Amino acid sequence: MSKVTVLEHPLIKHKLSIIRDKNTGTNEFRRVVTEISQLMCYEVCRDLQLEEFELETPLEKTTGYRLTGKKLGLVPILRAGLGMVDGMLSLLPSAKVGHIGMYRDHDTLKPVPYYSKLPEDVDDRDIFVLDPMLATGGSADDAIQELKKQGCKSIRLICIVAAPEGIQYIQDRHPDVDIYVAAKDRELSDTAYILPGLGDAGDRLFGTK
């Protein structure tokens, strides 16, 4: 079974409360999502591999450290996942970015794929799938399946808010994919919105209703 990590950092909780507030406007919502993503990136990357090397400070030689192992890739699920990219790239500037586009059919509540553009060497990278909301898990499942078809072996799912139903669905479908969330909320509504949630993340990021 995959690992589920809820990031209980005080700054994350504080900023999450800002984007939950219905009175938070688009500009602030977008900025705070970026900040939360940056904080989450810090926590998600705790186990990245390092190698030692010798460097020279202005005073003497010492031991330095640099990231080693596989290269990294970020794959936001369009469109809401775009809101998390800048925060992640601020700490991982050399990561390549792919895109997988889906929208939810409001009648069936199922994801409908419409776009996929991934780095040529995506199968040789550790992949972080980005989506602010993990509701039913359908979109994340489809995105992960697409990445696995392209040969990806190391995939992590990073979401800001998740419903228990979505977490369980991904664990059942992809026991090899670890999940990182800022909050595990109570449940899904009858229309598959996360409760208490924060509304439609895409609409709030881009000012559409």
Q: Give the DSSP letter string of 96-163.
A: EE-EEEEEE-TTT--EEEEEEE--TTGGGEEEEEE-SEESSSHHHHHHHHHHHHTT--EEEEEEEEE-
**19 vs 13: CA distance, rounded Å:** 10
CA distances to 16, 19, 42, 126 from 45, in Å: 20, 24, 6, 11
- 201 annotated to a ligand binding site: yes
Tell me the two tokens of residue 5: 């990590």
At residue 68, the pLDDT reads 86
Q: Domain of 83?
A: 4-206
Is 131 labelled as part of a ligand binding site? yes
Token code pair at residue 11 = 């700054």
* CATH code for position 116: 3.40.50.2020
Q: pLDDT at position 58, please?
A: 97
Could you say which of 57, 62, 63, 108 is catalytic?
A: 108
Q: Is 172 in the active site?
A: no
pLDDT of residue 124: 92
> Is 186 marked as a binding-site residue?
no
The question of whether 30 is a catalytic residue gets the answer no
Q: Considering its fold, how many domains does the chain have in total?
A: 1
Identify the pLDDT of residue 109.
Answer: 66
Length reported for the chain? 209
Residue 35: the pLDDT is: 98
Residue 19, annotated ligand binder?
Answer: no
List, in order, residues 6 or more apart from 81 with CB less than 8 Å away: 75, 129, 130, 131, 132
pLDDT at 56 (0 to 100): 97
Residue 138 among known ligand-binding residues = yes
- Identify whether 200 is a catalytic site residue: yes
pLDDT of residue 135: 95
> Is 10 annotated as contributing to ligand binding?
no
Q: What is the largest CA-CA distance in the chain?
A: 67
Q: Do the Cβ atoms of 143 and 134 come closer than 8 Å?
A: no
DSSP state of 206: H
Catalytically annotated residue among 104, 123, 124, 173: 104
Per-residue tens of pLDDT for the chain, all 209 residues? 889 999 999 999 999 999 999 999 999 999 999 999 999 999 999 999 999 999 999 999 999 999 887 899 999 999 899 999 999 999 999 999 999 998 777 777 677 778 899 999 999 999 999 999 999 999 999 999 999 999 999 999 999 999 999 999 999 999 999 999 999 999 999 989 999 999 999 999 999 97
